[in-house]
Amino acid sequence: MNVQEPRFSRRALLRRAGLFGLAASASALLAACAGQQATPTPAPPAASPTPAAVASPTAPPATPAAAPSPTITVGPAAGEIVIGILATLEGAFALYGEEAVRGVELAVAEFGGAIAGKKIRLVKESTDATPQVAREKARKLIEQDKVDCIVGPLSGDEGLALRDYAKTVPDKTIVNGTSAAQDTTLRDPAPNFFRFSTDGVQWMAGLGTYCYEVKGYRRVATLGEDYSYPYSQVAGFLLEFCRLGGDVVAQFWVPIGTKDYSSVITSMPSDIDAIYVILGGSDAVNFLKAYAEFGGKAALIGGSSTVDQNVLETKGPLRERVIGIPGAGPVAADNPDPAWQSWVETYRKQFPQGLSTPSLFCWGYYVNAKGLLLGLRAVNADLSDGQKKLQAALAKVEFDGPTGHIKLDKNRQAIANNFVTEVAEGPNGTLYNKLVKVVEGVNQTLGLPEDKYLSLGSFTRDNPTCQKIKQTFGS
């Protein structure tokens, strides 16, 4: 008779295809909305898995859960400390995740892989940079893999989600990775969430001043992805730039993962000196490319991840477009500080396939892991009392990292140095962020009076405005 079975109907297929599409769009929408609701309320521990985690067949492929192989015991064996690493090891931020894991491994290697005779075992878990998945994976690490502490997450909204989650597991300790939304520690902080890395506002310290005074920019537009971390970055830039007298003409917020920036560029006002751009990974590359193609005239100013080392090592003809772009962040590739130089040396030795210099993601996970390990050492790796002793010790940890001294404030948030940089070409043709200026001991309010600073309110896509900053602090 005929081939195979004749039973499929076109309608059923259409319906199924539609379902796939809808599931996919549902998850994409969820991801898009996640940027807007900055603080997801903590769900009860027995909550069902989030739709984004399971619903969509087209969502970025989930990395197979790190199923414990038969030789590895689940949970801490006697004389062992288990640390979970939470980072994005898939999708557009995969490279950042790789760098993050390197950071933790560098710190662990520095301690010889053990604290007070207890071996350190690392369990990696991948997220997709959305708060829902970050939360699920953190729960999986704690409930299933029985980790003692978590280092992570990587992205802004994830940090807010884990701060809320941390409150539900008071006898576990979470130290940040590189997530840099300011509110994670500034407002309503969790007692067992520690951040030895600086946040998105702190990373901008010095840039607004440099752009106003040295570059002479007066009128700028801003372009950023629409979620908590870029809100912090833009605010950090404006806090300096506007107080000096600069103006913001227009602000653009695009959904995460926007690839085609041509129409956004077309909509930019023409009477501006510069555009402040805060985009991540390949989105930044796409923007820079389109901006050059469409003959953009205004100068560019980079946020901390826009001209990060990961972006600078893009394969292809990127270089003409980025040289000279000023930016700021917690690392500068050519920092002459011997501590930095020797750290870079160690990085290159341990990861010959890594970047030419470690990125801020490697730095963030490194300093956070190092802070945690120092805390563990201070209590002789004693976790018996619901980690109370460890958490008390962590709050007091101070150390000299590769970029200078790091200590925590009352909210368990780092006070550390920051660097203003400019993209330059190295002798061997690689691009790097050249050190322009060091800003020392940057705290979370950029040295501004705390009560006035807090009165600005949470940073969102339309707060703070230049005008509000000028009113609050006087220009």
Partner 1 sequence: MSWPQFVTVTLNGLTLAALYFIVAIGFTLIFGVLRVVNLAHGSLYLFGGYLGWSVADRTGSWVLGAFAALLVTALAGLVLQLGLLQRIHGQELREALVTIGVSIVAADLMLARWGGFTYDFSPPKVITGGLRIPLLDVGYPRYRLFVLAFAIVLGLVVWFVLARTRLGIIVRAAIDDRDMVAAVGIDVQRLFALMFAIGAGLAGLAGVIGGSVLSISSGEDARYLLASLIVVIVGGMGSLPGTAVAAVLVALVEQYSLALFPTYAAIVSFLLMVVVLALRPQGLFGRPA
According to CB under 8 A, which residues from 72 to 101 bind partner 1? 90-98
Q: Which is nearer to partner 1, 54 or 244 (CB)?
A: 54
Residue 18 in the binding site for partner 1 (CB under 8 A): yes
Question: From the list 58, 350, 380, 455, which residue makes contact with partner 1 (rule: CB under 8 A)?
Answer: 58
Q: DSSP assignment of 188-199, as one string?
A: S--TTEEB-S--
- What whole-number distance in Å separates Cα of residue 94 and Cα of residue 43? 28
Part of the chain binding partner 1 (CB under 8 A), chosen from 113-121, 193-201, 261-269, 404-412: 261-269
Residue 425 in the binding site for partner 1 (CB under 8 A): no
For the bound state, the minimum distance from the C-beta of residue 94 to partner 1, rounded and expressed in Å, comes to: 3
Task: Answer for the pair 67, 60: CB distance below 8 angstroms, yes or no.
Answer: no
How many CA atoms are closer than 13 Å to the CA of 339, on its beta-carbon side? Answer: 9
Site for partner 1 in 209-238 (CB under 8 A): 226
Question: From the list 50, 182, 233, 310, which residue makes contact with partner 1 (rule: CB under 8 A)?
Answer: 310
Residue 465 in the binding site for partner 1 (CB under 8 A): no
Question: From the list 80, 313, 409, 425, which residue makes contact with partner 1 (rule: CB under 8 A)?
Answer: 313
Instruction: Render the burial of 79-107: b for 16+ CB within 10 Å, e for the rest.
Output: eebbbbbbbbbbbbbbbbbbbbbbbbbbb
Single-letter amino acid code for the residue at 84: G
Question: From the list 166, 311, 322, 435, which residue makes contact with partner 1 (rule: CB under 8 A)?
Answer: 311
Site for partner 1 in 326-355 (CB under 8 A): none
Q: Which residue from 157, 138, 109, 122 is spatially nearest to 351, judged by alpha carbons?
A: 109
For the bound state, the minimum distance from the C-beta of residue 44 to partner 1, rounded and expressed in Å, comes to: 29
Residue 71 in the binding site for partner 1 (CB under 8 A): no
For the bound state, the minimum distance from the C-beta of residue 430 to partner 1, rounded and expressed in Å, comes to: 13
Task: Answer for the pair 440, 406: CB distance below 8 angstroms, yes or no.
Answer: no
Q: Which is nearer to partner 1, 8 or 399 (CB)?
A: 8
Question: From the list 34, 59, 160, 207, which residue makes contact with partner 1 (rule: CB under 8 A)?
Answer: 59
For the bound state, the minimum distance from the C-beta of residue 2 to partner 1, rounded and expressed in Å, comes to: 4
Helix (H) or strand (E) holding 121: strand 118-126
Q: Which residue from 127, 126, 123 is spatially nearest to 148, judged by alpha carbons?
A: 123
For the bound state, the minimum distance from the C-beta of residue 121 to partner 1, rounded and expressed in Å, comes to: 23
- End-to-end distance of the chain based on CA atoms, in angstroms? 85
Return the structure tokens found at 194: 């520690």
Residues 6+ apart with CB under 8 A from 447: none
Question: From the list 168, 286, 346, 465, which residue makes contact with partner 1 (rule: CB under 8 A)?
Answer: 286
**Beta carbons within 10 angstroms of residue 294's beta carbon:** 14
Q: How many residues bind partner 1 (CB under 8 A)?
A: 73
For the bound state, the minimum distance from the C-beta of residue 337 to partner 1, rounded and expressed in Å, comes to: 28
SS3 26: helix
Q: DSSP assignment of 421-466, as one string?
A: EEEEE-TTS-EEEEEEEEEEEE-TTTTS-HHHHHHT-S-BTTBS-H
Residue 320 in the binding site for partner 1 (CB under 8 A): no
Question: From the list 260, 385, 398, 400, which residue makes contact with partner 1 (rule: CB under 8 A)?
Answer: 260
Q: Which is nearer to partner 1, 28 or 395 (CB)?
A: 28
The single residue listed with the structure tokens 């509110």 is 183
Q: Which is nearer to partner 1, 76 or 257 (CB)?
A: 257
